[in-house]
Amino acid sequence: MGTFWDIPLAVICAFGLALVGWWLFGLLLRPLPGREARVVLPGRGEGEGLEQLVRSFIWLRGMGLLRCPIVIANVDLTPAGWELASRLTARWPEVALWPAAELGEYISRT
């Protein structure tokens, strides 16, 4: 009975080691933007897709694959879109909401 479980356990271990190796290899060879880079997401309308975009970049930050701040550029957000963007910035401090016309000021300030 013991040999039946040995094969699936060996396969799972092999996949786990391959995943860890792939992740470490990616960290070593992938060029990562530093703190001087910015991810700028355009905020338009009701903010359709904005939360998904922010979550994906937060996930990259959590994995250690991204270190730069995330900026939501207020292009033409409606009040509902502004509320959504404000909630995102309150939830994640590394996300900033800034008027699109004043992005140069934000970049030179930070």
The confidence score (pLDDT) of residue 74 equals: 92
Same domain, 52 and 88: yes
Residue-wise pLDDT tens digits, 32-43: 656 577 889 999
Same domain, 18 and 42: no
| Global model pTM greater than 0.75 | no
The residue segments making up the domain with residue 71 are 33-109
Same domain, 54 and 82: yes
Looking at per-residue pLDDT, the higher value among 67 and 99 belongs to 99
DSSP string covering the chain, please?
-HHHHHHHHHHHHHHHHHHHHHHHHHHHHS----TT--EEEEEEET-TTHHHHHHHHHHHHHTTS--S-EEEEEEEE-HHHHHHHHHHHHH-TTEEEEEGGGHHHHHHH-
Q: Total domain count for the chain?
A: 2
Same domain, 63 and 105: yes
Residue-wise pLDDT tens digits, 49-78: 999 999 999 998 887 778 888 999 999 999
Same domain, 37 and 25: no
Same domain, 40 and 21: no
Same domain, 40 and 75: yes
Same domain, 95 and 64: yes
